[in-house]
Amino acid sequence: MATSLSYYLREMARGEWLRNFLFVKTAPYETPPHFRDYPRLTGKECTHCLACMMICPTPGAIEVLKEDEGWNPVIYPGHCIRCGLCVEACPEGVLMSGRILESQFFENTGYTWTFHLTVDSTLCMRCGNCSVACPVNKEEDPQLAATGTGENDEVIMRVKGGELRILHEEKCTGCKTCEEACPNSAIRVARVIEAIHTAEEGG
């Protein structure tokens, strides 16, 4: 303890160290062109596909809200970590930030995503809330949506053989209605995102 204290004192009392510490010279502050600020709107029309909300890793950072006639994403700076994923994910180019859109265009990069559903069968009551509420199931089996009685196996999931079976995970759009309707947090929707790079020229 005593030796390290005296070591520090000796080290920091040197004139050179003090000079460097107090009068340090750095380059003047300038925003570099690749700096990603909070995403801004480009003015293009939002189609309310919610891809930006789907990909955003930060809870509460982005929301697509209705404004007069159309929809538009709104960024909440206190939550946003400026990762720029929403800018890249938006198929319509509604958002921009730094050089993301340019580099995406020139390098042909993008994302694809699928959803992975898991059911914790120890928590699940097979109440059917999720399968009756799911909007995709509603299209595939109106009978299930209207009466809770599964009629076919084209749905994403339904109660079968005493279990909530996931039958067509690939049809899931990630809306998370099922998660909201589940009283036991037994069903979970996870997005599986892949960065892709297509070979063709941008254009």
Task: Give the binding site for ligand SF4 (CB under 6 A).
Answer: 39, 55-56, 58, 61-62, 75, 80-86, 115, 117, 119, 124-130, 134, 136, 156, 164, 172-178, 181-182, 184, 186-187, 189
CA distance 70 to 143: 33
CA distance 85 to 88: 5
**56/119 with CB nearer other proteins:** 119
Do the bridges between strand 95-96 and strand 40-41 make them parallel or antiparallel, or are there none, so unpaired? antiparallel
Residues with Cβ within 8 Å of residue 42, at least 6 apart in sequence: 93, 94, 95, 96, 101
**46/119 with CB nearer ligand SF4:** 119
Counting contacts by CB under 8 A, is residue 183 touching other proteins?
A: yes
Q: Which residue, 151, 126, 152, 155, is CA-closest to 138? A: 155
Pick what 160 binds: ligand SF4, other proteins, none; C-beta below 5 to 8 Å, kind-dependent: other proteins
Give me the count of residues in the chain: 203
User: Per-residue x/- mask for other proteins, residues 109 to 128, rule CB under 8 A?
Assistant: ---------------xxxxx
- Classify residue 179 by its DSSP letter: H
Count of residues that bind other proteins according to CB under 8 A: 27
Counting contacts by CB under 8 A, is residue 160 touching other proteins?
A: yes
**Interface residues toward other proteins, by CB under 8 A:** 124-129, 131-133, 138, 142, 145-150, 158-162, 180-184
